[in-house]
Chain A
Amino acid sequence: MIPHGNSETPASSATEINREAPKASPAPAEPHDRGAWGLWEVFVRSSRGLSHVHAGSLHAPDAAMALRNARDLYTRRNEGVSIWVVPADAIAASDPDSKGSFFESPQGKDYRHATYYTKSEGVKHL
């Protein structure tokens, strides 16, 4: 359940592409119902100059607590210098079932890679 590590898609994200408008208000439920703690995705930047990388997810009643829970769950061993938390349902993800039409089309199109082309004579610094 939590934290679930690096899954391919955020657990409660929209699974289809652009069929739904992105949800406008990502704020999770008020902390009144204990079972209603929202799911948050955590991104940790391990060092200055690197980018934030998805570390996992967690439950929290609001953004401030999500940051603190992320600090406690994902930076216990010096892993980070910066944390982002994003409500899981604010992430629109690609549909795993449409992998063929979405991601397999570039295969075989080697002319999209620089290595496909022969170096022209006399061109320096390539």
Chain B
Amino acid sequence: MSTPEATETGHGDISTGVAGGDSNASATRITPGNALRPEDIALEVKTGLVKPSEDVAEYALRLGDDALILAQRLGHWISRAPELEEDIALGNIALDQLGHARSFLTYAGAGMPKEDGTATSEDELAYFRREHEFRSVQLFEQPNGDFAATIARQFVVSYYQYQLYRRLTESTDATLAAIATKAVKEVDYHRDHSSQWVLRLAGGTEESRTRMIHGLRLMWPYVNELFQDDDLTRRLAEAGAGVVPSSLREDFDRLTADVLTEAELEVPDVPAAPGGGRYGKHSEHLGYLLAEMQVLAREHPGASW
């Protein structure tokens, strides 16, 4: 990203999300690296290089909302985790999710032009939509609960997102594929983090085991909604741009069962929640989350810091 041309056109090779690879790395200098950034997508949107179809924009909005709501939830752990080290681990995961959200929402906004024809920005999507306009599934907005409940939510989310992003790296939509290529590595680590903790909490004390089992029972009703297909996902899968959620279920079930078996836990036998998050039907928790997340931007519209 050092030449003016590269800056103007954003990331050169969007299919991998990496411009120039690691060729600038030095043995003595710490570099920020040059993976795909949301700013690169915004630049491509602005210059008209990329524009999602209406379906792809709606799809990106769904995935962006999932990541945004989870980032907000996880951010609440900062200064509150059981140990300083875990505080930072959860904060890192929250920031990864926020990065995915920014990329997806920036891209979604390109397919949702305002009256003046310009793209809707990531901030406008995050801060100025109302509860029923959010397209996240209900799992992501579930309260943090205790540490075990948060780990249970992370466990489900990370195994789901890993399967999803892994498949999306082959999307025919180059921007979706580029975002997924960056995200899948990060989510792979989230998967490792959550499964390590499932094993430790389940195999720790009687208290930690009880809490882990309780946490999984709290989150498992929302698993079903992750894998529900609808017309949008079927159309996108047909076009090769998206993934039919139900096709991720088998791998999810198998891989989560492996960890649960190792932890000597059972897949919770709980009824599924009705769902509907993709159409703006949310549990009672999302409104409070949005109030906290949006208050500053709504109090001072257009403020920058």
Contact = CB atoms under 8 A, between A and B. Distances in A.
Would you call the interface of chain A mostly helix, strand, loop, or mixed? loop
B296 to A, nearest CB: 25
A11 interface: no
Interface string B180-207: 0000000001001100100010001100
Nearest to B193: A68
A92 to B, nearest CB: 25
Contacts of B193: 68
Contact of A68 (B30, B196, B204, B205): B196
A77 B32 contact: yes
Interface stretch (B77-85, B125-133, B212-220): B77-85
Contacts of A69: 85-86, 88-89
B200 to A, nearest CB: 6
Interface in B127-184: none
A37 interface: yes
B176 to A, nearest CB: 26
Contacts, number: 50
A109 interface: no
A55 to B, nearest CB: 12
A34 to B, nearest CB: 7
B23 interface: no
Given A37-B83, A78-B32, A68 B200 contact: no
A93 interface: no
Contacts of B88: 69, 72-73
A69 B91 CA distance: 12
B85 A58 contact: yes
A60 B30 contact: no
A68 B92 CA distance: 12
Interface string A69-80: 101110011110
Q: Using C-beta atoms within 8 Å of the partner chain, give the interface range for chain A.
A: 20 to 34
B2 interface: no
A103 B106 CA distance: 60
B27 A31 contact: no
B31 interface: yes
A72 B32 contact: no
A48 B86 CA distance: 28
A58 B83 CA distance: 10
Contact of B30 (A46, A72, A73): A46
B113 interface: no
Given A2-B84, A73-B88, A32 B205 contact: yes
Contacts of B200: 31, 61, 65
Given A2-B84, A78-B32, A78-B33, A65 B196 contact: yes
B89 A72 contact: yes
Contact of A49 (B27, B192, B205): B27
A73 B30 CA distance: 15
Contact of B85 (A2, A46, A47, A50): A2
A79 B204 contact: no
B267 interface: no
A59 B85 CA distance: 7
Interface string B80-124: 001111101100100000000000000000000000000000000
A2 B26 CA distance: 29
B25 interface: yes
A32 B30 contact: no
Interface string B27-38: 110111100000
B32 A68 contact: no
Contacts of B33: 78
7 contacts: A31-B204, A59-B84, A64-B196, A65-B196, A69-B89, A73-B88, A79-B30
Interface of B: 25-28, 30-33, 82-86, 88-89, 92, 189, 192-193, 196, 200, 204-205
Interface of A: 2, 31-32, 34, 37, 46-50, 58-61, 64-65, 68-69, 71-73, 76-79
